[in-house]
Chain A
Amino acid sequence: MIEIRNVRKSFGETMILNGISLDVHQGELLCLIGGSGSGKSTLLQCINGLEPIQGGEILVDGVDICSKSVSINHLRRKVGMVFQQYEAFPHLTALENVALAPRVVAKVPRREALANAHRHLTHVGLGDKASFYPRNLSGGQQQRLAIARALAMEPRYMLFDEVTSALDPELVAEVLDTMRTLRREGMTMVVVTHDMDFVRESADRVAFLSAGEICEIGSVKQVMMNPQTEIVQKFLGRRSSS
């Protein structure tokens, strides 16, 4: 379980997260939605320790990630992350992309790491692309590669930061399908997305962020079908009419 307690984060004078509290339960898919600049992506980066927080605490499986005695590198192995930007390593083949972190960080022997990498590539439907360099893969394939790469560290949690936003529309489906597969397999996921169809179909719970605070949180039915606050009603209304 990931427990987020009253987390505050600011860049200089600008408050980004203004006291966020939130639990991510084992096996659930939690979607974070909201307008640009509402703090959703920053919250994900804080969970993975990529951004320091100025107040509150974040516990992953009961361990405070900000504690000085905790190795953040060790903790990150539990929490995989995929970004909006295609960040496949261009100097490595797809297979090497996936095998790198297990070899370097987890010290898995080369042969074993490559075999595992092949399994993870197959899992995201890239089994036949193992020897390809990222420049020869489509955007959707690169994002699936990024997912396989994160999965190779055998994380307990996966964070997705607008992973389909930079993709051509016809490539979005293959990435979302991969995420749905993970969900069926019981992976705990936190997904920042603007894709409301995906939220309606796949999320267990939804949190709506605005100005660094959680406006509403609850089941898809509660938040998406029957929003209580005006700001969420407006946001969803604008989406569905567009």
Chain B
Amino acid sequence: MSDYHFHWVMALRDLPSLLQGAVVTLQLTILSMIIGVGVSVPLAVMRWQGRGVWSGVAGAWVDVARNTPVLLQVYAVYFGLGAYGFNISSYAATLLAISFNNIGYLIEIFRGGLATVPRYQYISGRSLGMSATQAYAYIVWPQLLRIVFYSVMTQMIWAMLNTSLGLLIGLRELAGAAEQAQSVNYRTLETFAMAALLYYLMAKLLILGAELLYARLYGRR
């Protein structure tokens, strides 16, 4: 028999501060995905075409982002930039680090997807008078997104969970808020269990939101 007695009422008093942390987590997740997709798509196209400086940049980015711990990426941004006199907030540092990590993974996801869209799709768009950008935007991209949708969702959840590393540089996102609350209320298990449940619900919410957005933009999957 365990000696631990659950006192949910005491922990529930801290639910409001956990919810505040959850809002920060959601913001970081969505912003880091917007930055991640925005930067990784052009880099993925250039890496896929496989020549030029930007292809090399994309390759190096993938290498570093995927082969080092996310924790060190967070530290590198926060303390690294600090060492050069750029003192940024823990919020900005977490956002930059998670975006950096997202870009590395998303480049590979989009590059893999690009290889599955037949080349003639692009060429026939061009033959109709579309610019390269138009052919990518209207023909390649919607097909690509359908293929990589769930990989991107997985990455988004991964990004959300990784924002909890912000707690180590003093950010009050969900994990940070839970850490702070349990150090005062001493209901460690209850508080972290609530945080875990909130993470789970946010993950479900994010995927539902992304599916609705996709359906709105591109119709039935």
Contact = CB atoms under 8 A, between A and B. Distances in A.
A104 B134 contact: yes
A105 B121 contact: no
B130 A73 contact: yes
Interface in A118-163: 146, 149-150, 153
Chain A, interface size: which category? 20 to 34
B131 A73 contact: yes
Contacts of B143: 89-91
A150 B124 CA distance: 9
B218 A77 contact: no
Contact of B128 (A85, A90, A91, A105): A105
Contact of B126 (A50, A89, A106): A50
Interface string B121-151: 1011111111100100011001100100000
Contacts of B120: 83, 85, 87
A149 B146 contact: no
B118 A104 contact: no
A105 B124 contact: no
Interface residues of B, number: 19
A60 interface: no
B134 A105 contact: yes
A90 B131 CA distance: 20
Interface string A69-107: 000011011001101010101110000000011001110
Interface string B97-129: 000000000000000000000101101111111
B129 A74 contact: yes
A48 interface: yes
A150 B125 CA distance: 10
Contacts of B118: 85, 87
Contact of B123 (A50, A77, A153): A50
B124 A87 contact: yes
Contact of B121 (A89, A106, A149, A153): A89
A103 to B, nearest CB: 9
Given A85-B118, A91-B146, A104 B130 contact: yes
A101 B135 CA distance: 10
A91 B142 contact: yes
Contacts of B121: 87, 89
Nearest to B146: A91
8 interchain residue pairs of minimum CB distance: A101-B128, A87-B124, A77-B129, A76-B129, A81-B127, A87-B120, A105-B129, A85-B120
Given A85-B120, A91-B142, A105-B130, 14 more contacts: A50-B126, A50-B127, A73-B129, A76-B129, A81-B127, A83-B123, A83-B127, A87-B118, A87-B121, A91-B218, A100-B128, A100-B138, A101-B129, A104-B134
Interface of B: 118, 120-121, 123-131, 134, 138-139, 142-143, 146, 218
Interface of A: 48, 50, 73-74, 76-77, 80-81, 83, 85, 87, 89-91, 100-101, 104-106, 146, 149-150, 153
6 contacts: A48-B127, A77-B128, A77-B129, A87-B124, A89-B139, A104-B138
